[in-house]
Each structure stands twice: as structure tokens, then as C-alpha cells.
Amino acid sequence: MARYFLELAYKGTAYHGFQIQDNAPTIQLEIEKALETLFKTRFDLTGSSRTDAGVHALQNYFHFDTNLEITNRHKYNLNAILPPDIAVKSIKTVADDAHCRFDAVARSYEYYIYQDKNPFLKDRGWFYPYELDFSLLQQAATLLKNHTDFTSFAKRNTQVFTHNCTIYVSEWSKAAAQQYIYKVQANRFLRGMVRGLVGTMLKVGRGQLSISDFENIILTKDCTKADFSTPPQGLFLAKVIYP
């Protein structure tokens, strides 16, 4: 058997997340259905990065094994079958032991907020019509790189052996008038971590928390201190990085 990496992008609005679930539309279910329709056989898919309901991805991956000969031209056939909010970007053969989840060395996420009501952004960003101090947002984002234990930004009952993450990039930028993007890249992320970081940093930007308060939330290692109310539609998995 040969192993393949399937790269895809999707708008997550209509789906209950990335990984297959009982009686719910998911990205994995749609990809499996499309592969089975095209090749008349079932495929067992392994996903790289789970995303929650409503979260989008500019890049994500599945891998699978098959005796069939599959080439990159099959992406056109799959895209003709898939719904318009999911796109296959490439299909490539890889080493037999390549693993799309465990071989990734880093992942990048982006979170979008906009402050002027815009009907064209409502499912691709968070309408946040509050005055923000951009310099405070940037200070909070930079501070994160000084820490590795992000227990405070992991949702309860997260089943992991460690809450340590190494953040390589953490910064806010202005995309356009009254639009902001938070970009973060790390070797790993905890469940709910990016949304928790964004929600808590926005409190800093509004003056509801000081930089010292924000650092204390990190140090307390208590997830009840962070703000996880950030909605999913502003979050994008931007890139999965391999060696």
C-alpha cells in the first residue's frame, strides 16, 4: 500500500467540526463520501488538526493508505463532488511511515475581528464594536512568548499529558480600517487555547485587564480566569508545518 497526504481548505460554518461524529455533518465525513463516490471503495482517514464547529481552515490534512494509484489530477474530480465550502488543494504520495498529525512540527492560527458592522464578514470574523488599545493588545501577545505553561487557556477536561506549548509567533496586526488579525504559531495547541487567548487579550485591549493581570492569569494555571467566550467563526487554521 502507498500512503497519501490530502491537503484541503474549508469554510467550517455548516459543519460540526473536522473529525467525524455520529449523525452530524463534518469535514471528514464529506471527504470520505467524496473519495468513496470517486473510487468505489472506503477509505480510513487520519486527520492532522481537529477544528471545532464553525472554525475554518486555509490548510489542513488527512492521510490514508490505499493500493489504488491516485495522482494530483484526482483533486479536480474530488472537487467536482465536494460541496463548494470544501476544497482539495493537493494529493501527494509520502513515505509509508509519514503521519499528518504527529509529523507536524508547528501549526499557525489566525483570528479575525472587525469593528464596523459588515454583512460580508459575519461568518468569517467576530464583530467586536468596542474601542481597543492596539499597543496593549500587542504587549499582551508578545508576553505570551515568555511562557510555556498554558493550563489557563485549555478548556476543562482536556485530555493531555502536558499543558506546555512553545509559541514561536504571537502578534496582532491591522488588516484594514477597524479590522484586526491575531496570528499565533506554536509547536502544539491545547483545546480552546487560541480562542481563550484572544478573548482574554481583548479584555486587555479594552482596559478591563492590565498587562500584569494578564500575566497573572497565565501564572495561576486556572482556566476559570480566562475568557473562552470568543466565537468560532473568526478562527482559521492557517497552516500545518512539516519538516
Query: pLDDT value at position 23?
Result: 87
Give tens-digit pLDDT for 10-61: 999 999 999 988 889 999 999 999 999 999 999 999 999 999 999 999 999 9
The neighbouring-strand residues paired with 172 are 182
pTM for the whole structure = 0.95
Query: Amino acid letter at 169?
Result: V
Helix (H, G, I), strand (E, B) or coil at 194: helix
Q: How many CB atoms lie within 10 A of CB 24?
A: 11
Give tens-digit pLDDT for 70-115: 998 999 999 999 999 999 999 999 999 999 999 999 999 999 999 9
For residues 168 and 175, give the distance between their C-alpha atoms in angstroms, rounded to a whole number. Answer: 21
Query: pLDDT value at position 192?
Result: 95
The answer to whether 221 and 85 are in contact (CB under 8 A) is: no
Catalytic residues: 52
Largest CA distance in the chain: 59
Query: pLDDT value at position 83?
Result: 98
pLDDT at 2 over 80: yes
Burial of 92 (0-12, 13-18, 19+ CB in 10 A): middle
With cut-offs at 50, 70 and 90, classify the pLDDT of residue 221. very high
| Cα–Cα distances in angstroms (integers) from residue 147 to residues 109, 152, 182, 227, in the given order | 18, 12, 18, 18
pLDDT at 171 over 90: yes
Q: What is the mean pLDDT of the chain?
A: 96
pLDDT at 159 over 80: no
